[in-house]
Every structure is written in C-alpha cells, then in structure tokens.
C-alpha cells in the first residue's frame, strides 16, 4: 500500500469567483496615500498586496455619520477607488473621519486604516435639486421677517398656526425622547403638530428655481425625499408636485393648474428614503387645490412642490416629521450607492 501525502494547501473556491484567504494571512501594506479626501473633486485610493490570490472586501464607515460603502474584488493585490457614495441610509459627512477595514473570505482576519473627509460627495447633480434642499443654511430656508425665504414658504408664516412648530434643526430629540440623527450633512427640516389640531398640521413649499427642466415623459421621472418617522401611524405626509398648466410662466395656481400627490403613511421609525414614480402620483382631490389643470402628468411643467404634515386619525395626539434632501431624478429612483 502506498500513502500519498500532500502538504500543499489547496485554495477553497467559495462560489463563483470567491476565493478564501490562506490560513494565517497577514497584510502589512494596506494604506491610503492621502490623510484626507475631497469627494467633490477626488476619490479615495486604497492599496494592499496579498500573499496569494484572495477575495477581499473593503468597507469604509464614517465615524460620525455611520455611513458605509463597500467594494469587493479578487486578486493578489488591490487598488480600490472610493468616490464617496454610500450604501447606507446616512450620507458621509464633511469633516468626519472614516475607518477603512479590509477583510477577506474564509478568515476573520481584518486590517484597518483611517482617512479624513474634507468635503462630502455632491449628490445635487444626481437630479433636479432645490436650492438649499440640504437645509444646511437655515437663513435661506426659514422666513426672515418681514420677508419669506427666497426659495421656501413655511405655511405658518406670516400667520402662525396654533400648536405647531417648524423650521431647520439638528441634533433634535423627537417626542418619544429619541435623538434624531442627521441623514445628510448636519441639518434637516422639521414640522411638529404639538397638540389639538385639525387633520391638517402645516407644510413647506419650495417655489424657487427647479433645474434642469424635467423630460415630458412622466414614466421616466421619480420624486425622492428622506423622511424621519417616529413610528406613529397617526402621522401622514402628502408630497404634492405642482405644474404650471395654464398662464404658463405665472407659476402654479391651485384653481387652474394640476397638483400631483403622493399620500404617505409615516409609521416607520428613523430615516427612510421615499422614491415615487411620477406616474404613481395621483391628482389632488381637494376642490380648488390642484384638481383643475389639464389632468395630464407633465413633469416638464413642474414649478413647485409641497410637503404637508397631516394627522390620520387622532386630532389631539402630537405628530412630527423630519425631512431632508428632496431630489427629483430621471431614469430611476435616487440611488446614493452609485
């Protein structure tokens, strides 16, 4: 009888293209050439070399934002370029530190390095983005009595609404006592119905410029908005998109123009990205409030939009929402991971 022994360790192939790391793998040269990256103008490069062909996973995580992104590859070395996109609900943030972790299939071994962010990726170019739609500059969003904001109209100005509060905030605490983290940048917009109130609480209209002009085919257009909910099924939001059907150039007039609405129940907890296809919007059913246009979905005529906070059932119970980064995209929903 002849016994063959084979000392050479075979590499495990884990599914198509996934190769486990050799036992005891150590990587000593995982690095990034810069101490900080400007994601508006540049990419973050990470490099490493390995003792064998491996499948690697590079994950970056923002230490303040909690934003993440991941790249995978297979080879005996890696050179990965990260563009500041995120596959998480939150966005990477200017001024924060990022931890980059390199891990591998087939082992728990990891190695890390860090990088600063000078500027976060500019997502405004991903679609039609309103002025100050990141809500980072409250002076350009909130009324500056006796004037409106140049771009946004708060429904509680100049006539206040009882038991109601709205404006730009950061590090807020919701009425359940939970901190409201930022989803993009450091600030967001809030509307709160604090007590006894009718179904309608309040809203915010964007009436500033909307560029570029959207295509006329409504099946190619998506409206997107990040909304923070407290998990209260009493909370509803209407997103209302307003066209200039008649008296072109004179803007939206609710008695003669179309308003297209997404009726949203906000019973989720935390931040959520809502993306609605323009063809899934329904015409406003409120008499004299956007039910009078030509009844044709025409994104190229969009001139303004509203976010309206409503109570679904209990008029006496408080409700509140926070929102950020409304953007209208063409060809698909807003996708910050790409």
Note the residues at the interface with Ca ion (CB under 5 A): 134-135, 184-185, 187, 243-247, 253, 257-258, 293-294, 296, 298, 324
Q: Find out whether 174 and 230 touch, Cβ atoms under 8 Å.
A: yes
Contact yes or no for 186/219 (Cβ under 8 A)? no
* Pick 162 or 296: Cβ nearer Ca ion: 296
- Least distance in angstroms from the C-beta of 321 to Ca ion: 14
- Comparing CB distances to Ca ion, the nearer of 254 and 318 is 254
Angle at CA of residue 275, ends 278 and 122, nearest 5°: 110
d(CA 165, CA 114): 41
Q: Which of 301, 311 has the CB closer to Ca ion?
A: 301
What's the closest the beta carbon of residue 16 comes to Ca ion, in angstroms?
40
Helices (H), the chain: none
Provide, rounded to whole angstroms, the least separation between the CB of residue 260 and Ca ion. Answer: 8
Report the residue number, 134 or 234, with the smaller CB distance to Ca ion.
134
What are the beta bridge partners of residue 273? 226
Rounded CA-CA distance 222/224 in Å is: 6
**Nearest-approach distance from CB 325 to Ca ion, in angstroms:** 6
How many other C-beta atoms are found inside a 10 Å radius of the C-beta of residue 95? 12
Rounded alpha-carbon distances, angstroms, from residue 301 to 106, 249, 259, 276, 329? 55, 9, 11, 18, 15
We find the least distance from the C-beta atom of residue 245 to Ca ion, in angstroms, to be 4
- Give 147's DSSP letter: B
Q: Which residues contact 77 (CB under 8 A, 6 or more apart)?
A: 47, 48, 49, 50
- Cα–Cα dist 94/39, whole Å: 9
The nearest distance, CB 214 to Ca ion, in angstroms, is 12
Helix, strand, coil tally for the chain in percent (to 5)? 5, 45, 50
Question: Could you tell me if 90 and 63 are in contact, meaning their C-beta atoms sit under 8 angstroms apart?
Answer: no
20 in Cβ contact with 105 (< 8 Å): yes
Q: In the complex with Ca ion, which residue's Cβ is closer, 99 or 294?
A: 294
In the complex, the smallest distance separating the C-beta of residue 313 from Ca ion, rounded to whole angstroms, is 30
The CB-of-51 to Ca ion minimum distance in angstroms stands at 44
List the one residue out of 303, 296, 328 whose CA is nearest residue 252.
303
Q: Looking at beta carbons only, is 102 or 180 nearer to Ca ion?
A: 180
> Which residue, 102 or 302, is less far from Ca ion as judged by CB?
302
- Residue 94, classed as helix, strand or coil, is coil
Q: Least CB distance from residue 115 to Ca ion, whole Å?
A: 22
Q: Which is nearer to Ca ion, 195 or 248 (CB)?
A: 248
21 vs 183 by CB, closer to Ca ion: 183
């Amino acid at each position: 009888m002849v016994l063959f022994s084979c000392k050479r360790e075979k590499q495990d192939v884990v599914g198509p293209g996934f190769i486990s790391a050799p036992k005891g793998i150590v990587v000593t040269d995982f690095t990034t050439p810069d101490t900080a990256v400007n994601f508006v103008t540049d990419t973050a490069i990470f490099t490493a070399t390995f003792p064998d062909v491996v499948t690697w996973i590079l994950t970056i995580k923002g230490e303040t934002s909690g934003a993440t992104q991941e790249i995978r590859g297979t080879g005996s070395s890696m050179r990965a370029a990260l563009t500041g996109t995120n596959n998480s609900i939150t966005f990477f943030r200017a001024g924060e530190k990022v931890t980059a972790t390199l891990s591998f299939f087939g082992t728990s071994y990891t190695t890390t390095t860090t990088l600063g962010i000078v500027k976060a990726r500019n997502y405004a170019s991903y679609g039609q983005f309103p002025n100050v739609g990141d809500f980072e500059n409250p002076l350009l969003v909130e009324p500056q009595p006796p004037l409106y904001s140049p771009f946004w109209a708060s429904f509680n100005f100049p006539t206040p609404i009882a038991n109601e509060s709205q404006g730009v905030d950061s590090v807020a605490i919701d009425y359940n006592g939970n901190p409201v983290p930022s989803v993009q940048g450091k600030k967001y917009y809030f509307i709160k119905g604090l007590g006894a109130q009718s179904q309608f609480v309040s809203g915010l209209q964007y009436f500033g410029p909307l560029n570029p002009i959207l295509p006329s085919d409504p099946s190619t257009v998506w409206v997107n908005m990040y909304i923070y909910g407290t998990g209260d099924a009493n909370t509803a939001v209407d997103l209302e998109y307003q066209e200039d059907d008649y008296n072109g150039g004179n803007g939206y007039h609710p008695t003669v123009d179309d308003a297209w609405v997404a009726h949203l129940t906000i019973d989720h907890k935390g931040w959520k990205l809502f993306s609605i296809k323009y063809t899934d919007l329904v015409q406003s059913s409120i008499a004299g409030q956007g039910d009078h246009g030509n009844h044709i979905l025409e994104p190229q005529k969009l001139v303004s939009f509203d976010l309206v906070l409503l109570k679904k059932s209990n008029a006496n119970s408080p409700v509140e929402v926070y929102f950020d980064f409304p953007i209208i995209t063409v060809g698909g929903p807003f996708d910050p991971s790409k």
